[in-house]
């Protein structure tokens, strides 16, 4: 099949680009020093797709072209500034999907494809063995085997699962009932963080349960594994829709999960279950704002003065203003809101070929910050903590 046939409707989107370059002004990977080549910019990626569609490239699935497409990590900043209304990340995902069908899965993509499968297995390993994976010999081996940078933060499990932790809590049928969609990270990698959310809400009279679920599929989505995404999305949509019909809203504590359930599932599934879930998702930051405004004094900030990081997906979802408002309502002073990207982009910043750009972006974000830095995204948190010397708080952990 030709690239046009493999891309389908994404080919028409790419052809609408007028090459104005507005996307370059907001794209993180277009604003680093390595973007001196036009092909390494957001506009350059769309121009390359156009050239491939017009027959100007000898090999439309060349490895170098695929790596240039991989410079996009789906931050969605370009979506709001494109005058032609082109969802550029969708075009890139379409190319990746076409590449997989024409060529196959590359080595580092196997890591992404299997993440939701091996994270539960790793969570059962002894902590001594998990700690060994952070040592230099293991990191060098991982860099050689799958391309992860030896100095990048690895999302290794802390041990155990959220399912285990919640079994030990009393079941409280509060007036407000929520079904928690924890995703793989908070279910198997950092379950203690999700448990703190559950305990905080429980003290406020909110009952939280953990319905049957699989990974959100955000990494599958970003890397173009669309068939695999539909499989996990369908399972989640059916399970969560059942809870919604039983009177519960769906609670998310990750911007990626919020985006997937609200925007992506209805688009890729087109089912009533997906739409029902999307209509009943409440992001944890939205819930905390509801509590802070409806019950004055119910939340207290952990720090009197903070700097707020407006992460990529927080901007896309309109959550930054809500997080800032919650901080102020509870008595915290938001000294500054910083909108620069941290450079992690899901797992993008973990790979050795991207690490220098990733660190450059993060250092630009954190320069001169003395106050605790509040961010919303598990990957932003890991990235900033690995580069920044100051205190870092997840937005939902900034209250007590």
Does the domain formed by 298-397 have CATH 1.20.950? no
pLDDT in tens, 63-105: 999 999 999 999 999 999 999 999 999 999 999 999 999 999 9
Between 155 and 235, the higher pLDDT residue? 235
At 109, the pLDDT band (50, 70, 90 cuts) reads confident
Contact 348, 356 (CB under 8 A): no
d(CA 165, CA 194): 10
Mean pLDDT of 325-352: 96
Specify the pTM: 0.94
Instruction: Determine the average pLDDT of the residues in 355-382.
Output: 97
Residue labelled with tokens 């901007």: 315
Q: Express each pLDDT in 200-256 by its tens digit.
A: 999 898 999 999 999 999 999 999 999 999 999 999 999 999 999 999 999 999 999
**DSSP-assigned letters across all residues of 146-208:** H-B-TTSPP----SS-HHHHHHTS-----SEEEEEE-HHIIIIISHHHHHHHHHHHHHTTEEE
Look at residue 168 in the predicted model and tell me its pLDDT.
65
CATH architecture, domain 3-102: Orthogonal Bundle (1.10)
% of residues, the chain, pLDDT over 70:
98
CB 3 within 8 A of CB 11: yes
Domain boundaries, the chain: 3-102, 298-397
Tokens read off for 361: 């972006």
Mean pLDDT of the chain: 94
């Amino acid at each position: 099949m030709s690239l046009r046939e493999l891309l389908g409707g994404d080919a028409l989107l790419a052809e609408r680009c007028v090459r104005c370059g507005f996307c370059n002004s907001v794209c993180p990977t277009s604003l680093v020093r390595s973007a001196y080549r036009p092909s390494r910019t957001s506009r350059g990626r769309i121009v390359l797709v156009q050239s491939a569609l017009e027959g100007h490239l000898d090999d439309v699935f060349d490895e170098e072209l695929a790596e240039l497409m991989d410079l996009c990590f789906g931050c969605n900043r370009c979506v709001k500034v494109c005058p032609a209304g082109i969802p550029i990340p969708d075009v890139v995902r379409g190319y990746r999907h076409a590449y997989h069908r024409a060529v196959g899965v590359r080595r580092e993509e196997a890591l992404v494809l299997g993440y939701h499968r091996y994270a539960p297995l790793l969570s059962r390993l002894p902590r001594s063995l998990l700690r060994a994976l952070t040592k230099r010999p293991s990191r060098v081996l991982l860099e050689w085997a799958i391309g992860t940078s030896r100095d990048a933060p690895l999302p290794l499990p802390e041990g155990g699962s959220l399912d285990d932790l919640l079994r030990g809590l009393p079941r409280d049928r509060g007036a407000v009932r929520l079904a928690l969609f924890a995703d793989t990270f908070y279910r198997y990698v950092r379950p203690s963080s999700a448990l703190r959310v559950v305990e905080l809400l429980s003290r406020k009279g909110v009952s939280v349960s953990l319905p049957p679920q699989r990974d959100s599929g955000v990494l599958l989505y970003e890397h173009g594994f669309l068939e695999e995404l539909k499989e996990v999305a369908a399972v989640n949509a059916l399970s969560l829709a059942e809870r919604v019909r039983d009177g519960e809203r769906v609670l998310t504590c990750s911007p990626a999960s919020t985006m997937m359930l609200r925007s992506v599932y209805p688009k890729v599934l087109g089912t009533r279950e997906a739409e029902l879930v999307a209509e009943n998702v409440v992001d944890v930051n939205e819930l905390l704002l509801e509590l802070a405004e409806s019950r004055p004094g119910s939340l207290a900030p952990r720090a009197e003065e903070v700097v707020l990081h407006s992460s990529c997906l927080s901007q896309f979802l309109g959550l930054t203003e809500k997080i800032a408002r919650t901080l102020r309502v509870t008595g915290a002073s938001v000294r500054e809101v910083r909108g620069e990207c941290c450079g992690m982009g899901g797992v993008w910043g973990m790979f050795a070929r991207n690490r220098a750009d990733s660190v450059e972006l993060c250092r630009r974000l954190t320069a001169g910050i003395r106050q605790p830095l509040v961010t919303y995204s598990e990957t932003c948190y890991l990235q900033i903590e690995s580069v920044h010397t100051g205190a870092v708080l997840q937005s939902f952990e900034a209250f007590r």
